[in-house]
Chain A
């Protein structure tokens, strides 16, 4: 039961805080209750580190006799714990920095919504068996759907939420299909020993939910999700998929499939990293950042090193969290941003360092070059967005002034703490030349760009290079974003709709009964021919 104590606890306290706020209209007290809930849940997660592995198992969940039962198992182990820790760190940072965002729709309702999502997110992170994963994913999707629909105002955004929900449910169905198909051999699906016929479906399910395989970005209007709620939401969705990736076996696909899937993944990552770089601010670029993080996870799995998924992605997500939660700037903030960037590069003995072994297991090759390019684009984008102009923390609010940097600093502390105490293999040199190459390239390009910008020598918006580049980028973006797939699907839907309509009219029309008898004759012929001897 210990494993689900934190999510249940955070759920109950956050709802209590909300009810208290509704009854007394005391914003400060509600915030304090949320802070206490987050700190206690955070403490519970730290406590779990000393009890790994801890699990909750329901063996005969369905209760049908003779069924090769799927086990419902929630487990805190070295795979899931870093994700849970990262999630709680981001949550605590979100709550601590919330007073600095009071002017930006930060209120007890948003805090409760966020904590409810975190609670479901923790369930999904600790879900160890496929059955537990699909249930947790479904719960998360339904809760997110309801919370978003109740907070949005425009029809367009509401439609985006429905589409996003549909795609995520599609991912869940893919995993359910994998569970079903793997039973053909008489055994239930286990992530650790997945069968080849089910592996593609599992990857498709995770890829769909991460938005990377195939590339999909149904909900791109990030501003309405706001800085705090949106950030936690994105990180929850990503971490609940990435933790499953980290559980997959080393040999997932035959080499031919691996090459094809790697190519698709890198194409999506380069596109997303470029879009992250050219986005006008970090919130607009946030979905692309998440796609790149997911891409790193998938690449590790495809290259046969799922153990490194957790190291890469927790480090990147925490660094992302620092930037996405930053609504104001200051001296301390600059230091924190710098440390977060270092955390992303994977330099030796930094949090992400060993993870390079997951991306570059076989020395210098095309995969290594692609990975390095993607990470350079990602760090450069981070640097660019970090330099964007921000507000100052209101001087009149001592709580905000104290807790805002503390919340962000907590993320950096946890990032490094995970690097040191995350688990076996979380600390080391990694592939030093790759991390140095990324750091060097970022320093040079970033420095030049910064210097040119300071001296007003950046390219003018009306220069021909910018215009041609923009046009080419637009064309590439419209192809690679795969928005055209939705257009094609819509066309097919309309075509098939006419066919169905025609058949319905025939079967339900005046001669319908006769047509039904003709169909019966056809069916009998079919069964006689193919089934009966």
Chain B
């Protein structure tokens, strides 16, 4: 058996089985969650490409699987990334099972995860873009439930993600030319521009991120959260693969500047726009844009601190996203609309739920006590050595998001009367408290929390 069988084919096969069982959301949810948890555990424990023993039985998981002349490669260095990906997937399966957006979501989630893992594993990389496009197309039935029409946000999401495909394919063509004529500066520039543009479309880099708040407003919080949780993760990992693989790309003088300018623009616009939003979901979307900006800034540092903060950032980001998606869905289930005006007084009636939402937003602002503080502080500190102006602008963006959060807090506690009670169900309370404990734990003991995910960087030996 090879690694792609476990982490690509097996989830795909199970997705097919779950599709047949999709009328029973509890079964599909439990199976998906358990399978992904097992796959995460397997990735954490089983070496790939190295023979080991399980009791008396010698075992070796090969790293490569060939299909139709293409290779799917998952190496030992990818184990941390796989463990993290499937662990997050298991959490999303749990949330989806509880919220039940619609019956097809769980199997489609499995298909998307499988396709995204394959996108990074496939060689040559050009096929990765095609696999990503298939994953995007598969996500459409998830975003548009049966019997409804797609909104403008879904269409814009589809347009921008699809625009990325030809641009990435053109980048592949340009890369081939660069390999033949490495001194050809025009070819180098062309390859860089195509690649940069492709990733800008994929990631929703400024100014291509308009689809993110639009999609958040139109689609179910859990479905939207899942998409925004996995796509940027895989895109950025693919981006690092490129930087790791091509020395001329990572040593290009323009790379740092482009990453810094776009990163800061995303932080500033994301933060300031968040301050003026009328709905919580749009505010969360802009908070995510701000966070992506910080990820780009981390990469722009081009040193070990940058790389490690980049890797560590995924833990609080994913936790916050899950808490927000689950929190928004639960608020809706309790009869609240997700506008700022619509959640008035919910802080008094559902204190644990709203505390979890507030803490997730606080985490995106990077305030002390949350996991992101330990990450943002070194990023901004290192950035200040390169440019004080950029640092100040980034802080302005953070302040903008904080204003947005204060508006949410005002709304949560706009209530007169002594009605302070915990209206959440026991499992809601349990999940929110667990999420908050994890976020605060990452904020208080970051070194211990982030130790595991830093191993993810072993996949990129050529990067700092």
Hey, which bits of chain A sit against chain B, CB under 8 A?
A: 60-68, 70, 134-135, 137-139, 142, 146, 149-150, 153-155, 158-159, 161-163, 165-166, 169-170, 172-173, 176-177, 179-181, 183-184, 186, 188, 496-497, 500-501, 504, 507-508, 512-513, 516, 519-520, 523, 526-527, 531-533
Q: Do B413 and A158 touch (CB < 8 A)?
A: yes
* B381 contacts A183, C-beta separation under 8 Å: yes
Indicate if the CB atoms of B447 and A66 lie closer than 8 Å.
no
**Pairwise interchain contact A531-B258, C-beta atoms closer than 8 A:** yes
Q: Which residue of B lies closest to A68 (CB)?
A: B381
Chain B, residues 373-404, CB within 8 Å of chain A (1/0): the string is 11001101110110010010001001100100
The answer to whether B450 touches A63 (Cβ under 8 A) is yes
- Considering the chains assembled together, what is the distance between the CA atoms of A173 and B403 in angstroms? 12
Bound Cα distance A66, B368 (Å): 21
Closest to A165 in B: B409
With contacts A137-B368, A165-B406 known, what are 13 further pairs, Cβ within 8 A?
A62-B374, A63-B450, A64-B308, A134-B373, A149-B420, A159-B410, A166-B402, A176-B377, A179-B381, A183-B384, A504-B273, A520-B200, A520-B207
B7 contacts the other chain (CB 8 A): no
**Main SS class of interface, A:** helix
Query: How many whole Å from A209's CB to the nearest CB in chain B?
Result: 13
CA distance in complex: A183, B406 (Å): 29
Q: Do A67 and B378 touch (CB < 8 A)?
A: yes
Q: A508–B214 contact, CB under 8 A? A: yes
Indicate whether B254 reaches chain A with its CB closer than 8 angstroms: yes
**Taking A63-B446, A512-B156 as contacts, is the C-beta distance between A142 and B369 under 8 angstroms?**
yes
B367–A173 touching, CB < 8 Å: yes
A62 touches B447 (CB 8 A): yes
Q: List 10 A-B contacts (CB under 8 A).
A: A60-B447, A61-B374, A62-B446, A134-B373, A150-B420, A180-B395, A181-B388, A184-B384, A184-B388, A512-B156
Across the interface, do B384 and A180 meet the contact criterion of CB distance under 8 Å? yes
In the bound complex, residues from chain A placing their C-beta under 8 Å from that of B258 are: 527, 531
- Tell me the complex Cα distance, A162–B408, Å: 10
CB contact under 8 A between A135 and B415, given known A180-B384, A497-B276: no
Query: How many residue-residue contacts, CB under 8 A, span A and B?
Result: 154
In the bound complex, how far is the Cα of B308 from the Cα of A63, in angstroms? 9
Taking A180-B395, A508-B152 as contacts, is the C-beta distance between A173 and B402 under 8 angstroms?
yes
Residues on the B chain within 8 Å of A507, using CB: 207, 210
Cβ contact within 8 Å between A154 and B451 = no
Known: A135-B369, A166-B406. A65 touches B304 (CB 8 A): yes
A532–B418 alpha-carbon span in the complex (Å): 61
In terms of DSSP, what is the predominant structure of the interface of chain B?
Answer: helix
Are A162 and B416 also in contact (CB < 8 A) when A64-B378, A180-B381, A500-B272 are?
A: no
With A62-B378, A508-B152, A512-B210: A186-B385 Cβ-Cβ less than 8 Å: yes
B414 interface contact, C-beta 8 A = yes
The distance from the CB of B435 to the nearest CB of chain A, in whole angstroms, is 16
The 6 closest A-B pairs by CB, nearest first: A63-B447, A183-B381, A138-B368, A519-B207, A531-B257, A158-B413
**Least distance between A502 CB and chain B CB atoms (Å):** 11
**Inter-chain contacts of B229 with A (CB < 8 A):** none
Considering the complex, give the chain B residue whose CB is closest to the CB of A65: B304
Minimum distance in angstroms from B387 CB to a CB of chain A: 9
CB distance from B421 to the nearest CB of A (A): 10
- Collect the chain A residues with CB atoms within 8 Å of residue B446's CB: 61-63
Q: In whole angstroms, what is the CA distance A264 to B415 when docked?
A: 37
**Which of B213, B388, B415 makes the CB contact (< 8 A) with A158?**
B415
- Interchain CA distance A179-B448 in the complex, whole Å: 23
Instruction: Count how many chain B residues have C-beta atoms less than 8 Å from C-beta atoms of the other chain.
Output: 64
Of the listed residues B303, B381, B450, the one surrounded by the most CB atoms of chain A closer than 10 A to its CB is B381
Residues of A within 8 Å of B308, CB to CB, are 64-65
Task: Give Cα A60 to B305, complex, Å.
Answer: 13
A172 touches B374 (CB 8 A): no
The answer to whether B414 and A155 have CB atoms under 8 Å apart is yes
Q: Is B207 within 8 A of A516, CB to CB?
A: yes
A173 contacts which of B395, B418, B451 (Cβ < 8 Å)? B395
User: Which residues in A have their C-beta under 8 angstroms from that of B156?
Assistant: 512-513
Instruction: Please state if B382 and A183 are interface contacts (CB–CB under 8 Å).
Output: yes
> How many angstroms from the CA of A183 to the CA of B391 in the assembled complex?
11
B351 within 8 Å of A (CB atoms):
yes
Chain A residues contacting B206 (CB-CB under 8 Å) are 519, 523
Alpha-carbon separation in the docked complex, A170 to B414 (Å):
21
Q: Smallest Cβ distance from A215 to chain B, in angstroms?
A: 20
Question: Which residue of A has the minimal Cβ distance to B416?
Answer: A155
Most B-side CB within 10 Å, residue of A68, A180, A519 = A180
| In-complex Cβ contact of B414 among A159, A496, A513 (8 A) | A159
Chain B 400-454 residues near chain A, CB threshold 8 A? 402, 406, 409-410, 413-418, 420, 444, 446-448, 450-451
Instruction: For the complex formed, measure the closest distance between the CB of A28 and the CB atoms of chain B, giving whole angstroms.
Output: 26
Please name all residues of chain B whose beta carbon is closer than 8 Å to the beta carbon of A70 when the two chains form the complex.
377
User: Which of chain A's residues has its CB closest to B355's CB?
Assistant: A146
Residue of A nearest to B414 (CB): A155
What distance in Å separates the Cβ of B445 from its nearest Cβ neighbour in chain A? 8
A17 CB to nearest B CB, Å:
21
Q: Shortest distance in angstroms between B357's beta carbon and chain A's nearest beta carbon?
A: 14
Q: At the interface, yes or no: B309 with Cβ under 8 Å from chain A?
A: yes
A159's contact among B152, B272, B413, B417, by CB below 8 Å, is which? B413
> How far does the Cβ of B19 sit from chain A's closest Cβ, in whole Å?
33
> From B262, which residue of chain A is reached at the shortest CB distance?
A523
* Residue B6 at the chain A interface, CB threshold 8 Å: no
Which residue of chain A lies nearest to B152 when distances are taken between CB atoms in the complex? Answer: A508
Q: Which residues does chain A contribute within 8 Å of B254, judged by CB atoms?
A: 527, 531-532
Residues of A within 8 A of B305 (CB): 64-67
